Structure 1
Amino acid sequence: MDWLYRAEPQLCEEAPVGGDRDLVSDLMDKHKVFQKELGKRASCIKMLKRSVRDLTRGSSSADSQWLQKQMEELSTRWDLVCKLSVSKQARLEAALRQAEEFHTLVQAFLGRLCESEKALKYGVFPEEEAAVQECQSQLQELMKTLQCQQLELECIASLGEEILAACHPDAIITIKSWITVARSRFQEVRARGPEPAAGGARPPGLSRGPETR
């Protein structure tokens, strides 16, 4: 009975289980250990019920009534813990899917930002008119890409806030850090992007090609 009372707070549906992938995976591993222990005790509970039933069959003594009452309380507590265990497993599985999605979004986003940054940092603005037009077209495509990446950033921030709403205390700093990293990296790359240039001025972020003599 004491073990059941100690287990119940760990399974409370209000206890947050969201977070980053590593933390949620660790929580799942710990819950699997608990479920194994729960499974081992199931046979003990079954045997105890049978013993109490045999002892109290046909008896209406005070001791029999006390045993029956204790068994009813134990059964109720056992059923509750089993129900909460199943519920926590489902919540952990949902939290892990969410954490995996967040991890995938962040890593893919940072990877694409790196490619955009390289294009902006090492691009060359040529002298020939035809090449200039082609370069400007490439820049326009790159800016469209950055606009799409801004939408990706908004998705990351939104999912991160959703995770934080039901986040395990140990994962709050990690999730907030990844959101901050994604935002700061986007701002760094976006700052390299060209602004509308007047009078054919060279867009910033690109180097002028070698001059012909």
Structure 2
Amino acid sequence: MLLELKRIHVPPGQRVLLCDVTWQELEIILDELGEHRATRIAYDKGTLEIMAPLPEHEYDKEIIGDLIKALLEELDIEFMSLGSTTFKNEVIAQAIEPDLCFYIKNDFQFERNQRLDLTVDQTPNLALEVDISGRTHLHIYEALKVPEIWRFYQGQLQINILLDGVYVESQQSLNFPRFPLIEAIPEYLRQSFTADTNKIIKAFRLWVQQQIQQL
């Protein structure tokens, strides 16, 4: 398995599917792939997907992440960002690596070199998937009980809230109620294509401040 894995090359925007992968093999593969890599994985009861994102995917992810952090800072909300950390639960044989994830307003403590196990560790409050190729595995996030996931697809932001174990599309974020983020996040991302990123983030911060005054 490891020899075969080393020979696999995943071009940007493409994916590789491995079938009948046991949990023990998944753990070995994750060790072999390492932490500092461009690829993302999704594991669903024996089927392992390895995907390499496109450059535009990474750009959108970074800008949206910067906007989320700016929003949290302007609201003076404590948070912790763990990027594309691997979240897994051996009991239900599911694992996923979001593009970004955030622990918001909670007492979760993360230690260096810690590997998160959702059979015992808390799930992130918010996960982000920038979906260029239509790969978002919402059913895995449902199984892992992530309360909110943002899916950015074809220039639009979709907010999904976990309700009775199933995701329901919402016009408002569970973490940022009363903020019209479905319109604002894509708009500021579009502006970043033709303007300086720092100026866009500053403009977004000003917009957040204006929204706070209206609450």
TM over 0.5: no
Which structure has greater strand proportion?
A: 2
Higher relative contact order (CA 8 A, sep 6+): 1
Q: Which category of TM-score, normalised to the shorter sequence, fits these structures?
A: under 0.3
**For the pair shown, which has the larger CA radius of gyration, 1 or 2?**
1
Which structure has greater helix proportion?
A: 1
Normalised by the size of structure 1, how large is the TM-score?
Answer: 0.21
Normalised by the size of structure 2, how large is the TM-score?
Answer: 0.21
